[in-house]
């Protein structure tokens, strides 16, 4: 099959014997494979190209031919936007909210998963196996089915004096807890894997030097798995940054909006949609995931099953 490109697999005398008809068949198969791949991938590329072109021009033909360049679509960056009679709030407080939300999720996920991952990996206690399998079950269970009940919990918390407005409904911090809780089972499992790889000698050394378990965890073990923690943190940040459904359900007031809600509001009534403004806002919202994608797509695709070469 692989005629010229892999000389090591097929001895030269065999290659010479491959008849012309066979070679044409192989070439035709290749063309078929590539055209299929190009054909099914093209719509995705077209969408992203359109998003970019639309954001910098007034009109786009067929998704990739901008007609008249303009920065007017990006006007939301320097002021309030008015469409028809509706005025949208300035985007910067919204950006701040999104950052706070994503950072909150990152902090909570990293903190709780490194603590519990350590316990699951290193402690010997009754019920450890059960707790480990529970972590896995929680990861597989679709948490979104519990949305209505979580709404009620946030509603009940909201009525609690003093802390209510912080961790209840209509507060991004309340949703931070919900979102983190959903992310933590998987994060804890991944972090546990990192801890499993650390030699016990390092930990014993810390105890011999007089550390408590908490001190050993913070001063000795955590620094060793820093790269692993960084990847968990990045994933948590992106999950928080992109979150839509929970925020959409639990946040009512514009002042607490994040970018996903802001963009959703812009979509509004989609008959009168202003694609220019919409695509510019969407692109702006997409900057962090896009940067992450550009820098890491190679290693993202290599994260695998068994860690065989990618």
Site for another protein in 230-249 (CB under 8 A): 235, 238, 241-242, 244-245, 249
Q: At which residue do the structure tokens 């190679």 appear?
A: 298
Indicate the DSSP class of residue 80.
Answer: -
d(CA 284, CA 3): 48
Give exposure, 41-68, as e/b (b: 16+ Cβ within 10 Å): eeeeeeeeebbebbbbbeebeebeebee
Residue 169, interface with another protein (CB under 8 A)?
Answer: no
Residue 282, interface with another protein (CB under 8 A)?
Answer: yes
Minimum distance from residue 150 beta carbon to another protein (Å):
5
Question: Which CA distances in Å does 182 have to 163, 186, 253?
Answer: 22, 8, 24
d(CA 143, CA 135): 13
Residue 166, interface with another protein (CB under 8 A)?
Answer: no
**Smaller CB separation from another protein, 192 or 225:** 192
Give exposure, 208-223, as e/b (b: 16+ Cβ within 10 Å): eeebeeeebbeebbbe
Minimum distance from residue 85 beta carbon to another protein (Å):
22
Residue 293, interface with another protein (CB under 8 A)?
Answer: yes
Q: Give the Cα-Cα-Cα angle 127, 128, 130 (nearest 5 degrees).
A: 65
Select from 12, 39, 85, 308 the one that contacts another protein (CB under 8 A).
308
92-151 binders of another protein (CB under 8 A) = 111-113, 115-116, 118-125, 128, 131-134, 136-151
Minimum distance from residue 168 beta carbon to another protein (Å):
13
**Smaller CB separation from another protein, 72 or 212:** 212
d(CA 166, CA 189): 29
197-236 binders of another protein (CB under 8 A) = 200, 204, 207, 212-214, 217, 235
**Smaller CB separation from another protein, 93 or 265:** 265
Select from 66, 192, 194, 233 the one that contacts another protein (CB under 8 A).
192
43-72 binders of another protein (CB under 8 A) = 43-48, 50-51, 54, 61-63
Residue 17, interface with another protein (CB under 8 A)?
Answer: no
Question: Which CA distances in Å does 278 have to 49, 81, 84, 225?
Answer: 14, 11, 15, 41
**Smaller CB separation from another protein, 92 or 252:** 252
d(CA 50, CA 276): 10
Residue 78, interface with another protein (CB under 8 A)?
Answer: no
d(CA 285, CA 270): 19
**Smaller CB separation from another protein, 34 or 92:** 34
């Amino acid at each position: 099959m692989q005629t010229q490109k892999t000389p090591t697999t097929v001895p030269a005398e065999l290659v010479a014997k491959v008849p012309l008809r066979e070679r044409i068949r192989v070439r035709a198969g290749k063309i078929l494979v590539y055209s299929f791949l190009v054909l099914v991938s093209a719509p995705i590329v077209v969408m992203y190209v359109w998003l970019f072109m639309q954001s910098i021009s007034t009109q786009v033909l067929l998704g990739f031919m901008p007609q008249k360049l303009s920065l007017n679509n990006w006007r939301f960056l320097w002021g309030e936007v008015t469409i028809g009679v509706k005025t949208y709030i300035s985007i910067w407080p919204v950006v701040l909210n999104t950052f706070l939300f994503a950072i909150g999720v990152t902090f909570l996920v990293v903190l709780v998963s490194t603590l519990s991952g350590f316990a699951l990996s290193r402690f010997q206690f009754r019920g450890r196996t059960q707790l480990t399998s529970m972590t896995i079950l929680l990861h597989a269970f679709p948490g979104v089915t519990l949305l209505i009940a979580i709404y009620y919990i946030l509603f009940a918390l909201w009525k609690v004096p003093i802390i209510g407005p912080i961790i209840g409904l209509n507060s991004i911090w309340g949703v931070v807890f919900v979102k983190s809780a959903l992310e933590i089972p998987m994060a804890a499992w991944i972090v546990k894997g990192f801890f499993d790889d650390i030699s016990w000698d390092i930990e014993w050394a810390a105890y011999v030097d007089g550390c408590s378990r908490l001190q050993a965890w913070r001063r000795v073990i955590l620094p060793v798995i820093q790269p692993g923690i960084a990847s968990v943190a990045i994933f948590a940040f992106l999950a928080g940054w992109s979150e839509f459904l929970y925020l959409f359900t639990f946040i009512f007031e514009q002042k607490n909006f994040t970018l996903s809600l802001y963009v959703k509001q812009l979509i509004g009534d989609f008959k009168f949609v202003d694609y220019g403004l919409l695509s510019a806002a969407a692109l702006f919202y997409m900057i962090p995931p896009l940067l992450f994608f550009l820098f890491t797509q190679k290693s993202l695709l290599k994260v695998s099953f068994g860690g065989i070469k990618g």
